[in-house]
Amino acid sequence: MGTLNPDIRIIRYGKKELTEVTIYPLSVRDQFKLVDLITSVVQDLASVQSGNLNDLTFVSLVMKAVEENVTKILAICADIEESQADEIIGSMTNTQLADLVESIWNTDFEPMLKKGKSLFDRAKSMFSSRRSLPDSSNSTLNIGSNTSTEEVSKTEE
């Protein structure tokens, strides 16, 4: 029998009685799906925001975007059908939803971003620390001798 992934989490939710849902770490494919989903929502909100909306309108648009996508996100993270995810979301409190989002962020996104930034910084320092080769366009060698044209003319006379 295989070993269970230590990144599997149990989230407790419910308004009256607590129930549990298992949240699995995202596969790379699922993470790409989730990033695409979140990116499109953020782009939609950013395009609307540029039209000088008041705060209340913007918040209501954000809430609508969350409402339209939270079941998709939970379905991906819990490996369940969207209908089941919708039932779970229907009995979650705001605090429980925030805990779920934080758990997904802490397990699936934050470590990747930290490691990715670290790799980028290491690669950047490796490539920027390479010494540049001398400029090959200057083909004149400097051997340290000074030749004066005045001295040459005096010796010729």
Q: pLDDT (tens digit, 9 = 90+) per residue, 101-116?
A: 899 989 988 888 888 8
The answer to whether residue 107 sits within a structural domain is yes
Of 130 and 28, more confident: 28
The answer to whether residue 103 sits within a structural domain is yes
The answer to whether residue 94 sits within a structural domain is yes
In angstroms, the CA 132 to CA 81 distance is: 57
Residue 31 burial (CB count, 10 A): 16
The answer to whether residue 20 sits within a structural domain is no
Statement: residue 146 has pLDDT above 80: no
What total of structural domains would you count in the chain?
Answer: 1
The pLDDT assigned to 93 comes to 95
The answer to whether residue 62 sits within a structural domain is yes
The pLDDT assigned to 116 comes to 84
Per-range mean pLDDT, top range of 91-95, 115-119, 139-143? 91-95
- Predicted TM-score (pTM) of this structure: 0.64
Beta-bridged to residue 22, according to DSSP, are: 10
Q: Which alpha helices (DSSP H) does 50-148 contain, by range?
A: 55-78, 82-90, 94-104, 110-128
The pLDDT assigned to 54 comes to 76
The pLDDT assigned to 47 comes to 75
In angstroms, the CA 106 to CA 103 distance is: 5
The answer to whether residue 92 sits within a structural domain is yes
The pLDDT assigned to 83 comes to 95
In angstroms, the CA 120 to CA 114 distance is: 10
Statement: residue 66 has pLDDT above 70: yes
Q: Collect all residues with Cβ–Cβ distance below 8 Å to 87 and sequence separation of at least 6.
A: none
What integer best gives the mean pLDDT of the chain? Answer: 81
The answer to whether residue 3 sits within a structural domain is no
Segment 128-139 shows an average pLDDT of: 57
Of 94 and 51, more confident: 94
Domain ranges, residue 35: 28-113
Segment 9-38 shows an average pLDDT of: 92
The answer to whether residue 34 sits within a structural domain is yes
